[in-house]
Structure formats: C-alpha cells, structure tokens
Amino acid sequence: MRYVSLIPIPLRIAALTRERNSLFDYPVERLAGVIKDVGFRCISCAKCCTRAFNGHVFLLDCDVTAVQALDPAALEPAPAPEFCDQNGIFYVSGYALRTQDDDAGSCWFLKNSRCRIYDRRFTICRIYPYMLHREPDEYGKIDWRQFSGLDRHGEYDAVISDDESLDLARETKEYENAFLTQEIQFLELMQEYFRRHRLRHVQKVYDDRLRRFNQGDEITVMVYYQGLLKKHHIRK
Ligand code: SF4
C-alpha cells in the first residue's frame, strides 16, 4: 500500500491505524471460508515471482533479516519512495526483493521456474495470493479484497481442508497486521525525523530527482529497517 505523498503524515497514520483496527475485527473464519471457496492451486507457472506480474515483492523487517543471512545482494530499496526532502534525499518504508535482468524481471531466487529457497521463502511468498486489504472496486466502493490475480494464474479446483484454510487465513492476517504496523512505525519515525532535522517533503524535488534517476543519475535513498533509516546510493 502506498499513500500519495501530499497527504499529511498524521492523516496517513490515522488512516493506516483505522485500517489495522478493521483488520482486527475481520473474522479469521470468514477469510478461511473465502480461501476454501476459491480453491486456488499453484501450478508452478512462476508468474507471481516476476516483476511483470507482480510489480515488486515488499519484505517485512523479519524477512529482510532472513535475506541478509541468505544473500544480501537480493535486497534493494522498495520502489516508489514515500518522501523526498528539499535536499533530494528519498525515504522509503522498507526493502524489496531484487529482480534479475531478464524480460520478465524474475525474482532473484527464481531459477528454471523454481524457487531456489522454497523451504525458506518469505512471509509474503507463503501467503500469496491471499491478502486482506480494503480497496476501492471498479465503482469506487471500498471493500475487502482477499485474493490477488484471480483467474490470471494457477487453477481453482483444490480441496482445502478446514485446518489448512484456517492456518492460511491466520498467517495472512498476521502478515497484514505486521505490514500495517511497519508502515505506521515508518511514518511516525519520518514525522519525528523531519521535525528534528528541519526537513520537509517537496514534490517538485521528488519529481525532478526521479526523472534524473530514470535517465541514469545516482540517488540517495534512506530505507526504514528495524526502527532506523539505512542509507543507500542507487542507480537504475
Ligand atoms: S523468494 Fe521464491 S517464492 Fe518468493 S518471489 Fe522469489 S522465487 Fe518466488
């Protein structure tokens, strides 16, 4: 989830906190029922492990620690930073998995359409394609979305037991809670960091720097990780 940079930070924190409260109230049995009804079965098409299909794979802090132990080169700052200050420094709420330099943008850990680290794959990889987000539909009505990419990958004939669907539903809720908590903590840190260092987000600087980045310039990105900001110099 990314919020438009122009919305003031306190409003963003309030919106995310409301979202998290709604998540707490969502019955896990209801999500388990959706999982059983959908009957999704992975057919190892590997589509969901590519940038072409899924944009990027955002990592929770706990997963970043796991990637660092496996292969630190697999980490990169998540795209679309939330802020850019008046000095041209970007800020983003976490890391993403790096992709390979092939046409599809395959995940760093994908080889011959198989995950090289399947038994140790990350939280989002374990729960995908399930999710629990409140998002607008095509008519702008905000409602829960529990599945990503329906009918665009996998097959839908699986019989999923009550226990398995409940386990998946619980893990999905835990992931969404951890994700929202990380976003809120990042915004709280940014609020304090900007105030302490007399910084502010400037959209024009953001747009200019991003354009130059796309033309090959190096940029500096501060990435939120375990309550701190870690500095990276990156090039497209
Ligand atoms: S870590 Fe494995 S399961 Fe996760 S996106 Fe990469 S290849 Fe796919």
pLDDT tens digits, 189-204 = 999 999 999 999 999 9
Q: Which amino acid is at 87?
A: N
Q: Separation of 181 CA from ligand 1 center, angstroms?
A: 23
**pLDDT tens digits, one per residue of 76-119:** 999 999 999 999 999 999 999 999 999 999 999 999 999 999 99
Residue keyed to tokens 């995950």: 115
Please give the C-alpha separations between residue 154 and each of 13, 44, 157, in angstroms, as whole numbers: 36, 8, 10
With contact defined as beta carbons under 8 Å apart, do 132 and 23 qualify?
yes
Which residue stretches of 137-229 are H helix? 162-196, 203-214
Q: Which residues contact 151 (CB under 8 A, 6 or more apart)?
A: none
The answer, yes or no, to whether any atom of ligand 1 lies below 6 A from the CB of 84, is no
- Residue ranges of E strands in 46-155: 75-77, 83-84, 90-92, 95-97, 110-111, 114-115, 130-136, 142-147
Q: Separation of 217 CA from ligand 1 center, angstroms?
A: 29
Q: Which of 115, 116, 120, 127 to mutate to test the pocket of ligand 1 (most atoms within 8 A of CB)?
A: 115
The answer, yes or no, to whether any atom of ligand 1 lies below 6 A from the CB of 47, is no
Q: How confident is the model at residue 5 (pLDDT cuts 50, 70, 90)?
A: low
Q: Separation of 129 CA from ligand 1 center, angstroms?
A: 12
CA-46 nearest atom, ligand 1: 8
Residue identifier of the C-alpha nearest atom 4 of ligand 1:
125
Q: Separation of 14 CA from ligand 1 center, angstroms?
A: 32
Q: Separation of 193 CA from ligand 1 center, angstroms?
A: 33
Q: What pLDDT does residue 136 have?
A: 85
1 has a pLDDT exceeding 90: no
Whole-prediction pTM: 0.92
Q: What is the mean pLDDT of residues 45-56?
A: 93
Q: Cα 90 from chain centroid?
A: 17
Both tokens of 152, joined, read: 């665009």
Q: Angle CA(30)–CA(34)–CA(40) in degrees, nearest 5?
A: 150
